[in-house]
Amino acid sequence: MATDIPGLAQLWRSFENWLAEHAPGDYGSLLPGCSEEDIKRLEDGLGFSVHEDVRTTLELHNGVTVRSASTEPGAFLLGYSLLDVDGILAAHRDLVSMVEDAREEGEEDLVVGRIADREWVPLAQNISGDLLFVDHRYHCAGELGEMSFGDPEYRMLWPRMDLMMADLCRSVETRTPVTAVPRVPSVHEGRMLEWQVRSAQG
């Protein structure tokens, strides 16, 4: 099917170029890409192959410099920081633990596929531990979801990562909101990108 959306790697490069010019702190937080051995270690730890969008992203950047405070750069994906391979595995273990606990307690219907799932691969995490993830369930493969602790259900944000990156690139250039809960980009202190949640009244 024909599309006028550039490839994911090209979109990442466009977004990085914008960060380099407008949010140099965030740009400086990006780490080099991971190796094929790292990808294999990730897949071995997950127990399944990763979606090509996860692979492409990790090959470009194996996460960002770990933040120790919200005042530090690196949370340019809607307030989330890209995870490296070890971070993905750790966050995935937490999701699996939630699934296992729910099954033991007879609360599987409240948890699995709603706030945790073995086939969710964490992509980025915020300072509170909430996650952006790439869904690897067959019927949702490649979808970008957001899991916030305390919410009874995850949100599907984009059906594909290229659509997410295209929207983020457009948003930072035009200052237009993204996602159903509107988030508007702004640059803090000339060094880091922030996303302000716009209220329904706003």
pLDDT tens, position by position, 19-32: 999 999 999 999 99
- Find out whether 163 and 9 touch, Cβ atoms under 8 Å: no
pLDDT recorded at residue 70: 85
Distance CA 91, CA 89 (A): 6
pLDDT exceeds cutoff 60 at 2: no
d(CA 73, CA 79): 10
Q: Is the pLDDT of residue 171 over 60?
A: yes
Confidence band (pLDDT; 50, 70, 90) for 39?
very high
Average pLDDT over residues 87-97: 98
Burial class (CB in 10 A: 0-12, 13-18, 19+), 120: buried
- The values of phi and psi at residue 114, to 5°, are -115, -50
Give the pTM: 0.94
Q: Is the dihedral of CA 167, 171, 174, 177 positive or negative?
A: positive
| 182-198 pLDDT per residue, tens | 999 999 999 999 999 98
CB 54 within 8 A of CB 121: yes
